[in-house]
Structure 1
Amino acid sequence: MSGIKVRSATPSDVEDLAKLMAELGYPTTSDNMAARIERLSDREDYAIFVADEEGAVAGMIALSVIPTLYRDDLDGAITALVVSSNFRGKGIAGLLVAHGERWLYDSGARLATVKPSSRREDAHRLYERCGYQHTGLRFTKTLEGLGG
């Protein structure tokens, strides 16, 4: 994988990150992405890394750590992972996962979880190749109707 380096995302990556989110199935504007990155930029419990191939953003991973009541260590999570369709098949996802796991570990996490959608079978295979085990289900609910 010569020519590919993983680095922290910067404000100049906003447009590329918005495009990657759209590829992941979450369309957004560059302005919205910039606001999200700004909101997360000073947090030590959240990180965004990009795979950079000679100046082109080929993919990204977002991660978080959180304390829990059921473990002494922090829990780590991959909250987003996507590789551009123009760069798939080069091992970039595995490179991003490995980099993300190192950040999680260095941040105090000793367990990493990821909750891909049930329809993302390619992601399931990737995570299994990276050593993740299928350990349960996830349930989601939109809370928009609870507003006051």
Structure 2
Amino acid sequence: MTIDISIEKARPEHLAPILSILIAGAAGARIGQESDNVEEYRAAFDAMLAAPEMDVYVALSPEGEVLGTYQIHFLKGLAFRGRSRVELESVHTREDMRGKGIGALMMAHAEALAREAGAGLMQLTSNKVRVDAHRFYDRLGFAQSHLGFKKML
């Protein structure tokens, strides 16, 4: 079942619902580390919206309700003959809206942007405990090709 949505660049008024979705989907080291104080995130969000190499998108219901979100980063590099790559981050659908095709529409949107920019590949990481998300990415054609490592600072 697919729901009627639009996907748009996030605006300042979307910050609170984006945070709500991200906090609800926290896994691993992020659990308990986030705050529900929107103003603690405002400067970072504003900087992200202004950054030319990235964008934050939201999936909106016809009424303007935020149902999902993702961040897209265009990374320069030498691999693949210097073609850019796209890193997707914080891909989340609101918990009560999962299974309705919103995530697939957001991923298709991101892929269209990547292709339009001439990127050589799209990549993302997903916390190892998010098994349902891994199945979702597999269905979309993503291959689990690397091990990821993080160091909390």
Contact 2:48 2:56 in 1 (8 A): no
| Matched letter for residue 53 of structure 2 | D
1:88-99 equivalent positions in 2, closer than 5 A: 88-99=98-109
| Greater mean deviation of Cα atoms: 33-42 or 51-60 | 33-42
| Greater mean deviation of Cα atoms: 66-75 or 21-30 | 21-30
Cα 1:106–1:33 change in 2 (3 A) is farther
| Aligned mate of 1:39, from 35, 44, 47 | 47
Contact 1:17 1:33 in 2 (8 A): no
Cα distance in 2 for residues equivalent to 1:16 and 1:101: 24
Cα distance in 1 for residues equivalent to 2:118 and 2:149: 27
Cα distance in 2 for residues equivalent to 1:9 and 1:64: 14
Q: What residue number does 2:120 align with?
A: 110
Q: What residue number does 2:72 align with?
A: 63
**Offset of 1:2 from its aligned partner?**
4.8
Contact 1:9 1:50 in 2 (8 A): yes
Cα distance in 1 for residues equivalent to 2:90 and 2:114: 14
Q: For residue 109 of structure 1, give the secondary structure of its aligned residue in structure 2.
A: coil
TM-score w.r.t. the length of structure 1 is 0.90
| Greater mean deviation of Cα atoms: 24-33 or 2-11 | 24-33
Report the aligned-residue RMSD: 1.4
Q: Which has the higher strand share?
A: 1
Gaps of 5+ in 1: none
Cα distance in 2 for residues equivalent to 1:78 and 1:128: 15
Cα distance in 1 for residues equivalent to 2:110 and 2:41: 20
Contact 1:64 1:104 in 2 (8 A): no
Greater relative contact order (Cα < 8 A, sep 6+): 2
Deviations along 1:124-143, one digit per CA (max 9) or x if unpaired, are: 1111111101101101112x
Q: What residue number does 1:124 align with?
A: 134
Q: What residue number does 2:17 align with?
A: 16
Deviations along 1:48-91, one digit per CA (max 9) or x if unpaired, are: 11110121100001110111132310011111100001211101
Cα 1:38–1:122 change in 2 (3 A) is same
| Greater mean deviation of Cα atoms: 42-51 or 104-113 | 104-113
Cα distance in 2 for residues equivalent to 1:127 and 1:2: 20
Deviations along 1:93-145, one digit per CA (max 9) or x if unpaired, are: 00001101112222331200011011111111111111101101101112x3x
Q: Give me the identity figure in percent.
A: 23
